[in-house]
Structures are given as structure tokens and as C-alpha cells.
């Protein structure tokens, strides 16, 4: 039994320290967007979902959303998210939409690449997509039934101005 533990520990150490980093198209960091926008006149369509298997006494749910990202101009990308959710025993509801816009005032690469981000949300209380890091009562276990939750409206406008350092020497 002891040689098996040693082999597992050695394999784990070699795996953790003996490999080099693998880089794909996207760089590893926790930022929602970088300064790259969708190419003009390109439409990207994506479908994603969150599935919740809560604690006993709560109903299983699925919260799909449709993302439509469009390169309106070389300096402007717009995205529309359509959210819904289905909870076992409560039915399916449309839970709202998000409309995001990113504007890049400088088209060429610079040392700093500013981006203006503007988002409009119009959701109801039944939204369970968990697209935000904070502010969700679903995770805390205080979810209301769909019929009651959909009466609550959550409207918000968010605007941010970000500067992204150019990543020199990387393709």
C-alpha cells in the first residue's frame, strides 16, 4: 500500500511542476472581456445554461440563455442575452434580457487600449442564470416559486471604462 501512495505523490508532483503552461487563444486571467471586439458584420451565436441541483426540499432547475454577439463596427460590439428558466413542478418562464455594448475609441494597438462597456439589464426575480458573481438569492437558498418571483423586476444600467495593457510579444 505504501508504494502506491509514493507513486501517486510522485505522479502528482511531476504533473504539477513538470509541465509547462499551455496557452490557447485566450489568456488566463479573471476579466470578463479584453480589448478585442467581434469582427465587423460577424454574428456569433451561443447557447449556455446553468443547472441547479439544490439541497433537499428544493426543486431542480435549468436556466438556459441565448447569446447573440454582433460586430456592428470595428470599434463597437453589441451583445443580446435572452434568459429563461425551468424549475421542476413550477414550469418555464422567460426571465429577461441583457444588452451589452463595448466601444473601443482607439482602433490601433497602443500601450493602453481603452474600452467603454455599457450594459442594460431587465430581468425578473425568476432569473437563475448566475451570470453575475454577486447578488443572487438562488445561491443563498431563498428562491421564491416562479409565479411569485417573476413579479419582481430588476432593472440596472452598468457602465465602465477600462484600460487594457497591450500584451507585447504574444501572438
Per domain, the residue ranges of the chain are 28-165
d(CA 63, CA 50): 5
What is the pLDDT, as a whole number, of residue 128?
A: 84
Grid cell digits, residue 120: 442594460
Give pLDDT tens digits for 52-98. Answer: 887 787 788 888 999 999 999 988 999 999 999 998 888 889 999 99
Q: What is the pTM of this model?
A: 0.69
**Where on the phi/psi map is residue 157: left (φ > 0), alpha (ψ -120 to 50), or beta?**
beta
Q: How many CA atoms lie within 13 A of 53 on its CB side?
A: 0
* All three cell numbers of 60: 431542480
Q: Which is more confident, 42 or 169? A: 42
Order of strands across the sheet that contains 112-124: 43-52, 61-73, 76-87, 91-103, 112-124, 153-165
Q: Burial code of 81-96, b = ≥16 C-beta within 10 A, e = fewer?
A: bebbbbbeebeebebb
Residue 101 binned pLDDT confidence (cut-offs 50, 70, 90): very high
| % of residues, the chain, pLDDT over 70 | 66
Average pLDDT of 112-135?
Answer: 79
Task: Say if residues 63 and 52 touch (Cβ distance below 8 Å).
Answer: yes
Amino acid at each position: 500500500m505504501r508504494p502506491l501512495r509514493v507513486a501517486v505523490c510522485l505522479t502528482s508532483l511531476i504533473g504539477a511542476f513538470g509541465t509547462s503552461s499551455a496557452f490557447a487563444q485566450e489568456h488566463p486571467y479573471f476579466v470578463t472581456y479584453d480589448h478585442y471586439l467581434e469582427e465587423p458584420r460577424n454574428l456569433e451565436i451561443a447557447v449556455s445554461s446553468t443547472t441547479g441541483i439544490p439541497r433537499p426540499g428544493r426543486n431542480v432547475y435549468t436556466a438556459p440563455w441565448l447569446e447573440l454577439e454582433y460586430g456592428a463596427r470595428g470599434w463597437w460590439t453589441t451583445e443580446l442575452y435572452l434568459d429563461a428558466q425551468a424549475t421542476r413542478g413550477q414550469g418555464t418562464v422567460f426571465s429577461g434580457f441583457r444588452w451589452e455594448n463595448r466601444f473601443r475609441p482607439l482602433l490601433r494597438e497602443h500601450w493602453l487600449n481603452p474600452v467603454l462597456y455599457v450594459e442594460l439589464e431587465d430581468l425578473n426575480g425568476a432569473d437563475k442564470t448566475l451570470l453575475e458573481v454577486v447578488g443572487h438569492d438562488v445561491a443563498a437558498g431563498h428562491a421564491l416559486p416562479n409565479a411569485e418571483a417573476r413579479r419582481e423586476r430588476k432593472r440596472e444600467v452598468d457602465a465602465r471604462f477600462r484600460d487594457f495593457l497591450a500584451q507585447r510579444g504574444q501572438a
